[in-house]
Amino acid sequence: GKGGIGKSTTVSNISAAISDKGFKVMQIGCDPKADSTNSLLGGKYIPTILDTVLESNTVREFREIDVSKVIFEGYNGIVCAECGGPDPGVGCAGRGVITAIELMKEQGAFGRVNPDFIFYDVLGDVVCGGFAMP
């Protein structure tokens, strides 16, 4: 959907409602603005996965980083992460999201959290083919 129509607000409200029913929820923001989860975190912005990769200098070093540096607990125990990505017009946000999620899988983040539901708040205007629908 178009930017600014409320996708992040909607997914955050769905995450909150499902967590209120007793389920373990994880929400992953997939927009370079990295603002999907801040409503679940009391307005706080968190370090993004891709920024953490850049700071570690190499992907190999990232694989050795404690996953707690990129996942945070928000409202009612919702586990929050932000993929991050390139500035507008630079690089492919979709490819960045895929890379971030692959790194989280390799780190065992999903197994450690063991969520009942994972919500991906996907940006609305990926034009570079980073995401595909079946």
7 is catalytic: yes
List 24, 33, 35, 51, catalytic entry: 33
Please write down the HEC assignment for all residues of the chain: CCCCCCHHHHHHHHHHHHHHCCCCEEEEEECCCCCCCCCCCCCCCCCCHHHHHHHHCCHHHHCCCCHHHCCEECHHHCEEEECCCCCCCCCCHHHHHHHHHHHHHHHCHHHHHCCCEEEEEECCCCCCCCCCCC
2 is catalytic: yes
21 is catalytic: no
List 20, 44, 116, 125, catalytic entry: 125
125 is catalytic: yes
Catalytic residues: 2, 7, 33, 125
